[in-house]
Amino acid sequence: MNILWKIFFTFLKIGAFSFGGGYAVISMIQKDIILDKGWIKPEEFIDIVAIAEMTPGPIAVNSSTYIGYKLAGLLGSALGTIGVVLVPTLLALIVSIYFNKFKHLDWVKWTLKGIRPAVLGIIAAACFTIGKVSFVDLRSIIIGALIFLGVYKLKISPILAIIISGCLGLILYGLPV
């Protein structure tokens, strides 16, 4: 199959099941794109997530644009991005058209109540797999702990957290002389 079609269908599938927003998409990309297809390296993907945190727009759009571009240039990035938003947009359109009917459907409510805790598990799994790649030595554990305290206790913004951690990385891993 043509690489462009592969990009489109892979992101179509990821988009169609991306309940719970950006962080849940991370797990899907880990599984489909990194483990199964080996399109990009795990480290590079975490770097994309970091870039996505600092730039506008949903993580799903940011990652599909980046990965699509890396694999097949401009056309790849366009197809990846269209793929990832296509099914959600169609569903949102159907819901918008029949808005008042959807508001009170019990079976939808029950199903979604089951999916929400699963999304929590999916995001926790992303944490675990990204953690394995990110915590490589004592220095990285120190950085992770400091940043966690920063976001949990001091409520610093994700952008500030990433800027600080980048500086810590430069200090602890050494500036090239």
Partner 1 sequence: MLYQIFITFFKIGCFTIGGGYAMVPVIQREIVENKKWISQDEFLDAIALTNSLPGPLATNTATYVGYRMAGISGAITGVVATALPSFLIILAIAAFFTTIKDSTVVQNIFRGIRPAVVSLITYAVIKLAKSIGLKTKNILISLGTLLGMIFLNIHPIAAVIVSGILGFFFFREEAAEK
Residues 108 to 137 in contact with partner 1, rule: CB under 8 A? 108-131, 133-136
Q: Are 33 and 67 in contact (CB under 8 A)?
A: yes
Q: State the minimum distance, in angstroms, from the CB of residue 155 to partner 1.
A: 10
Q: Is 15 in the site for partner 1 (CB under 8 A)?
A: yes
Helix (H, G, I), strand (E, B) or coil at 118: helix
Q: Which is nearer to partner 1, 5 or 172 (CB)?
A: 172
- d(C-alpha 43, C-alpha 30), whole Å: 11
Regarding 141 and contact with partner 1 (CB under 8 A), the answer is yes
Contact status, residue 117 vs residue 101, Cβ threshold 8 Å: no
The residue (of 7 and 15) whose beta carbon lies closer to partner 1 is 15
Applying the rule CB under 8 A, the residues between 32 and 91 that interact with partner 1 are: 43-44, 46-47, 49-62, 65-66, 69-70, 74, 77-78, 81, 84-85, 87-89, 91
Q: Is 9 in the site for partner 1 (CB under 8 A)?
A: no
Contacts of 158-165 with CB under 8 Å at 24 or more apart are: 158/53, 158/54, 159/53, 159/54, 162/50, 162/53, 162/54
Among 2, 38, 154, 174, binds partner 1 (CB under 8 A): 174
Return the residue of 8, 11, 18, 83 that touches partner 1, per CB under 8 A.
18
d(CA 41, CA 10): 17
